[in-house]
Structure 1
Amino acid sequence: MNNQKIYALDPIIDKHSRILILGSIPGRQSLIKQQYYGNKQNHFWPILFTIFDQEEIESYDEKIEFLQDKRIALWDTIGSCYREGSLDSKIIEAEPNPLHDLLSQYPNIQKIGCNGVKSYQTFQKHFPHLMNQYDVRKLPSSSPIPGRYTKTFQEKVAIWKELIVS
């Protein structure tokens, strides 16, 4: 995937969705698998399973059913970009996803959680007017990559839970 343009996955959403979780753009393993948060090291699925006191689910189809049962939708702020590897810091020439179109098709969305700094910065840059229309929150990244602002798993769970169950 060196110097190749990469594209986001299709959104996972239905008419019952109330919360939209936005990543930046899937990492290499997720794109290869064509699955959101396909890297087993990522904390996304364990965070959600912990919040809902759910035993771990292995099947991707069952994970999607779990999300839909909880009225959670997934997509990304970035629709396409160039990136070497999987780090958000390597993203260049990012083009946003058409969030306006998605949100107009699914009016039941009330809350938006941006998974990590890059997702939140992209949202603020391209969709500042939506900040007042929705409860938009910057969530600590579910990525396991250590960074300057890394939180513990339990700290991530607590912050994500504020968005999801409030």
Structure 2
Amino acid sequence: MSTMSARIVSFEPIANNSARILILGSMPGEASLKAGQYYAHTRNTFWKIMGELIGFDPQAPYAQRVTALTLAGIALWDVLHSCYREGSLDSAIKNDSIEVNDFNAFLAQHPHITRVCFNGAAAAKCYQKHVLPTCKHTAIHYMRLPSTSPAHAALSFEQKVMAWRTAIGTAHAMHD
């Protein structure tokens, strides 16, 4: 067992110029970092929920799932650029090691984003504490959604889908 956590670095954002919704996690877990893919843990329900809402096979190859998201106007990123953390739990992130992503630059490059959805409470709290005080973009609606992580078992899959549909489904439907 390691006594020291390692500095981990998140992925580049998945986004195109027509993105209208940005979904933010906190930091990829170990399975995702190892696979080099967002939400790669087999029990994370992110892709299953997105497949249900957007209409793609959540078992499709990663590149196809990413394409389905971008075609639906959805961007994907993490609040944190890097941090020290042992394991995959948000609670293990060392607060004094947090470096956030550059949201002012990202939002300036993606001017159609009007909604930011947080995949869980940790992403929302981290954004509120470390990003919002210096965020220059004010025409954004923020929504905290139930985490798709297997560690968040308080809600059933169906309850999570309903909550995510409220945020993603309505915004997605407006531009079909």
User: TM-score scaled to structure 2, two decimals?
Assistant: 0.87
Residue from 148, 154, 158 that aligns with 2:158: 154
The answer (yes or no) to whether the contact 2:58–2:65 under 8 Å persists in 1 is: no
What do you get for the CA RMSD once the two structures are aligned? 1.7
Aligned position for 1:47: 49
Q: Distance in 2 between matches of 1:59 and 1:125?
A: 35
What is the Cα deviation at residue 152 of structure 1? 1.0
Structure 1 residues 110-121: aligned runs within 5 Å: 110-121=114-125
Residue from 32, 54, 62 that aligns with 1:30: 32
* Percent identity of paired positions between Structure 1 and Structure 2: 37
Aligned position for 1:145: 151
What is the Cα deviation at residue 133 of structure 1? 2.6
Structure 2: 5+ residue runs without aligned partners?
171-176
Q: Distance in 2 between matches of 1:164 and 1:116?
A: 14
Distance 1:111 1:146, change over 3 A: closer
What is the Cα deviation at residue 54 of structure 1? 3.1
The code of the aligned residue for 2:110 comes to Y
Q: Does 1:128 align with 2:132?
A: yes
Residue from 102, 114, 123 that aligns with 2:106: 102
What is the Cα deviation at residue 58 of structure 1? 2.5
User: TM-score scaled to structure 1, two decimals?
Assistant: 0.92
How many equivalent residue pairs?
Answer: 164
Structure 1: 5+ residue runs without aligned partners?
none
The code of the aligned residue for 2:122 comes to K
Report the secondary structure of 1:52's partner residue. helix
Q: Distance in 1 between matches of 2:142 and 2:159?
A: 19
